[in-house]
């Protein structure tokens, strides 16, 4: 069973890293067009927050798969946020969202630094990480009203949506194998 767990962890990690790279396609479109248009920074900002929190959870669990994947994810998502910032006219929206993310991360890191009960820290960070994952997966849907009103899916990051579905399934299996309800989400 340990061998199967390693295969799933490797597969989920690889798939997630590929999923993180789909942001490059979206950012290339921004660079090519010279603008983000009416796209929202929220998918990248929530991806950055989610990766950061999962990275902390990985360190609390001492799980190499979570640490590696989310180190890469944090770096890439931050690069996408910066790219979005350079090509958007609504820079204040990006700044406000990133300030909110910074506040959440500082609060969470402060809590885990001073919490003496490691299991309590794991539970809280795991819960918040799961919540952020749901937020990250739902983030592309922020453009759904716009898609319906203009009858065009051009503003939806479709590669990100498809990759997210595949990755989610693999992490669900890995979470079951670890008996970790937070990874299962």
What is the value of pTM for the model shown?
0.85
| Res 85: pLDDT | 98
Interval 54-69 mean pLDDT: 96
Total of domains in the chain: 1
pLDDT: which is higher, 165 or 95: 95
Of 41-50, 58-67, 116-125, where does mean pLDDT reach its minimum? 41-50
Three-state DSSP class for residue 49 = helix
**Residue whose C-alpha is closest to residue 51's, from 33, 30, 77, 28:** 77
The residue-averaged pLDDT of 145-160 equals 72
Residues 6+ apart with CB under 8 A from 79: 23
- CA dihedral sign, ordered 107, 102, 96, 25: negative
What is the extent of the structural domain holding 82?
2-184
Sign of CA dihedral 69, 74, 79, 85: positive
């Amino acid at each position: 069973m340990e061998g199967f767990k390693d295969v799933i962890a490797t597969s989920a990690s690889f798939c997630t890293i590929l999923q993180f790279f789909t942001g490059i396609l979206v950012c290339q479109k921004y660079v090519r067009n010279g603008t983000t248009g009416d796209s929202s920074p929220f998918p990248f900002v929530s991806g950055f927050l989610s990766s950061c929190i999962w990275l902390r959870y990985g360190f609390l669990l001492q799980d190499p798969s979570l640490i590696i994947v989310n180190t890469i994810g944090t770096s890439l998502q931050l690069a996408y946020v910066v790219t979005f910032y350079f090509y958007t006219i609504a820079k204040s929206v990006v700044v406000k969202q990133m300030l909110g993310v910074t506040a959440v991360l500082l609060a969470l890191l402060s809590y885990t630094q001073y919490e003496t009960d490691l299991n309590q820290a794991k539970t809280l960070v795991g819960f918040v990480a799961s919540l952020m994952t749901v937020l990250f997966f739902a983030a592309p849907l922020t453009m759904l009203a716009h898609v319906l009103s203009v009858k065009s899916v051009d503003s939806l990051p479709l590669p990100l949506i498809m990759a997210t579905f595949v990755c989610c399934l693999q992490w669900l299996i890995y979470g079951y194998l670890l008996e970790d309800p937070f990874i299962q989400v």
